[in-house]
Amino acid sequence: MKYWGLILVLLWQPVWAANQLDEFLNNLSTMEAKFQQKQFSETGELLEISQGKMYIQRPGKFHWDYQNPYKQLIIADGKKVWVYDVELEQVTIKRLDAALGKTPALLLTNKGDVRKDFTITQLSKKANEIVFLLTPKSEEVQFENIHLTLRNKLLYKLKLIDNLEQTTEMTFSHAKLDIPVDPQLFVFTPPAGVDVVVE
């Protein structure tokens, strides 16, 4: 659950701001960035800080490489998702549609009208930064809302509050858009000797 606090979205209010978000998502084909993820308890206590690198190729392909403080890979090839816990020596395999559902990861990797699933509100605007609130319309999702920040027309921050009032906050840096991405990043073969769980 802690690593599915991942990834993007679209907005509506006002129209000019919506156009910026629409432009970002509709034109996004690939993305590469470093990230820092912070997890907070329901009382605001910092529980963990992790770091890594991510790659996305739309539609349906992504590679999240958690490097610190421990190693984990989450890789999707458009049909399946592999979650590899290096220290546990375990790989979990899921169908992509079942794994993503209506999570923020779906917003980032698939194209479509975000307004079907979210109510979108602009919270604030600075010179080069806009913050949006996305509230899911479905009661079946496992999070309350998403705060998405665009800075200089790039994804800068994503904050997710789950149903337990815990917060996952991801800050992105060194982002590169629409560049060639090695297709092998979206291919995964479980290492010999690890436990494989199919869900």
Q: What is the pLDDT of residue 139?
A: 76
Number of domains in the chain: 1
* Site of tokens 């690593």: 3
Compute the average pLDDT of residues 126-141: 83
State the average pLDDT for the chain: 83
Over residues 186-190, mean pLDDT:
95
Report how far residue 123's alpha carbon sits from residue 13's, in angstroms, rounded to the nearest whole number.
Answer: 9
pLDDT at 10: 31
38-66 tens-digit pLDDT: 999 999 999 999 999 999 998 889 999 99
More confident residue, 14 or 81: 81
* Adjacency order of strands within the sheet including 90-95: 118-125, 129-136, 143-151, 154-162, 167-177, 30-40, 46-57, 61-68, 72-77, 80-85, 90-95, 195-198
Neighbours of 36 (CB within 10 A): 15
Cβ atoms < 10 Å from Cβ of 61 = 21
Q: What SS3 state is found at 45?
A: coil
* Rounded Cα distance, 9 and 28, in Å: 11
Contact 157, 167 (CB under 8 A): no
| pTM score, whole prediction | 0.82
**SS3 category, 2:** helix
Given CA atoms 40, 41, 44, 47 in this order, what sign does their dihedral have?
negative
pLDDT number for residue 176: 92
- What pLDDT is stored for residue 104 in this prediction? 62
Q: What is the CATH number of the domain that holds 7?
A: 2.50.20.10
Which of 25-34, 101-110, 159-168, 175-184 is predicted most confidently? 175-184
Q: Are the CB atoms for 199 and 93 separated by under 8 Å?
A: yes
In terms of residues, how long is the chain?
199
pLDDT at 101: 57
Per-residue pLDDT at 82: 93
pLDDT digits (tens, 9 = 90+) for 89-123: 999 999 987 766 556 666 677 766 667 777 778 88
Q: Which domain holds residue 74?
A: 2-198
